[in-house]
A and B are shown apart, each in its own frame.
Chain A
Amino acid sequence: MALLEIKNLQVRVEEREILHGLTLTIDAGKVHAIMGPNGSGKSTLSHVIAGKPGYEVTGGEILFKGEDLLAMAPDERAAKGVFLAFQYPVEIPGVATMTFLRTALNAQRKARGEEEYSTPDFLKKVREISKQLSIPQDMLKRGVNVGFSGGEKKRNEVLQMALFQPSLCILDEMDSGLDIDALRIAADGVNALRSPERSMVVITHYQRLLNYIVPDVVHVMSKGRVVKSGGKELAHELEASGYAQFEDAA
């Protein structure tokens, strides 16, 4: 069954069309990889799904669990289960990570009509998750991502994923800026969250990340469209032959 259906999506940024009628279906419980060269529109796609301002959708639609995703504000999308792991998570000085996590979790629960977490339950849950991800407790007292290394920032994204339990995770270039050890820790965290109730979209330029997070389906993007889809072997094929073969297809 499809969790996310993107049909003929056309998107402009400042008068320039980036996505030219992109069609893509993400199945429930599957890990999809989206690969493609720089400038193919991968990050634009992730931003449009999450609802980042500055993108003008001029055609097409996105259905999430059958609902019109584009009609929702970013916070509504989050409450419905959409989670974007940022390529470059921002630093928010003055907002303690714990405060941020609790405010966000309770805002999502409130939007869904669920009870807010009590403090002890919340603390217990965060402690559990941060232990699994080797995130020290004193990091959670600091401002969000302030003074965090690249690896710590990505782990903090995975921590949020584990806490919010979204049904769709979009990982935007999760491997950028990470060494192998940091990548492995982050990828292990992501793999632990794989479940039949959760789909993942792993956006990456390089095949390397897909050695750690092995996808069920691979899509190739070029010039604002999905030009080829296949199994995980497609990623290896790309690694060997490069993206040039798709430049004309697009």
Chain B
Amino acid sequence: MNVALVKNDSVPAASSVFSAAQGRLPGAGKVADIRREAFAAFERTGLPHRRIEEWKYTDLRALVREVLPLAGSPEAAALARAKTAIASVAIAGAAKLVLVDGVVAADLSDLSALPSGVTARALRDVLSDQTNDARGDLLLTKAADPMLSLNAALATDGVVVTVADGVQLSSPLQLIHVATASKAARYSRSHVRIGQGARATLVESCIAADGAGAYQANDVAVIWIGDGAALSHVRLMSDTADAVNIASELFTVGAKSKLSLFNMTSGGAVSRLQAFFTLAGEGSDLIVNGVNLLRDKQHGDMTLVVDHAVPGCTSRENFRAVLDDRAHSVFQGRIIVRPDAQQTDGKMMTRALLLSDEAEADAKPELEIFADDVSCGHGATAGALDDSLLFYLQARGLPEKQAQALLIQAFVGEAIEAIEDDALRERVIAAAQDWMEARA
């Protein structure tokens, strides 16, 4: 079959964005070399399109068309707007790390008030530190992907966080991305290291300040979880309805550790979370739950690659999409079981609830199994709300919209329940309810 590609000039436009950004990109010498190489890697494909298998259902060349220029450094007025926006998501008692248009906003962050055992630095400071020979590594990732390459080329800032060995954090760390600019792009790259035996909760939110719109976000997080450690990572993508947000997360999980990732996407014209997991130590558990709540012509994509590199790990993926109007949701889940990874137990389930005849859900589960003593499986469903359940609720006095909302809530509730922290779970449930109330 001859698939027509959208022809546009994304590569030439991107190269002018890259050259115009040079003065803003921290890191000289070796770091600058890495950026140039990364940009060359991006240029070989340009914005990923449907002929690239991993981007088959999320064709950025058609959906996004262009690479926008870098957002300027946030000025006082923008920071003030960001401060207002943050208030709506700030968690009482949580240490906040705030990035505004991809740049650490020190005045809005609690960099100096972190819990003991936690350190955080701005990525731009680390990249500019000529005494640190390993600084260039912060821009390198094992996974190859055009949007990761573009991020390496253009990352302006990010946070580099370390939780020391054995530290048990009682309140969450909060990473907040705020967009204040319009028709501009941000690229951030953060690193989080959870030390051996440490325990932490990381809440990441993508929000926009009043007046921001039509922006592009490309945030990368590289997260390392030590042996015997536990991380609960909750993400909420609540961008403006005209924004593009392509987020990438790369996890390396040590032995006898537990990683729980939850992501909910309710904003954005085009959103994608692509998460790459390497289970590198034996006896670890990975739990991933995802929820897409989409309406109008929103496009939301969750792409997961789980690499079981060692024996005896479990992975559970559970994805729920609720789609109204002409919304389009994509779930791609790949589980790789390496030849040595015996006794792997990997399962994934994706379910879509279609509230409109014009909504679309795509699911692509892939299992690549090279070991023989494993238990792996996947399942997928898509359907409308059950009429018999709706009638039961209506016959008990619930108006139609309220009956639908209760059933939708139950549908996504099975994913949200994975969040162990009560207050955090309530917060996510409230955010899902806001989405449903906006329907009525």
Chain A residues within 8 Å of B, Cβ to Cβ? 50-53, 73-75, 77-79, 83-84, 86, 89-90, 92-95, 99-100, 103-105, 107-108, 111, 143, 160, 164
Contacts and interface: CB of A to CB of B under 8 A. Distances in A.
Contact of A75 (B387, B388, B398): B398
A143 B389 CA distance: 13
B403 to A, nearest CB: 8
Interface string B370-386: 00000000000000001
Contact of A51 (B386, B395, B398, B407): B395
A52 B394 CA distance: 9
B82 to A, nearest CB: 36
B278 interface: no
Nearest to A106: B397
B392 A95 contact: no
Contact of B413 (A51, A94, A105): A94
B435 interface: no
B397 A92 contact: no
Contacts, number: 77
Contacts of B397: 75, 78-79, 104-105, 107-108, 111, 164
Interface in B391-437: 391-400, 402-403, 406-407, 409-411, 413-414
A78 B394 contact: yes
Chain B interface SS verdict (over half) = helix
Listed from nearest, the 9 A-B pairs whose CB atoms lie closest are: A94-B410, A108-B397, A78-B397, A74-B394, A104-B396, A107-B397, A95-B410, A94-B413, A90-B392
Contact of B406 (A73, A74, A86, A95): A95
Interface residues of B, number: 23
Nearest to B417: A94
Contact of B411 (A50, A83, A94, A105): A94
A86 B394 contact: no
A73 B400 contact: yes
A103 B406 contact: yes
Given A95-B406, A95-B407, A84 B395 contact: yes
B396 A160 contact: yes
B407 A53 contact: no
B395 A74 contact: yes
A53 B389 contact: no
Contacts of B406: 95, 99-100, 103
Contact of A73 (B387, B399, B407, B414): B399
Interface string B176-217: 000000000000000000000000000000000000000000
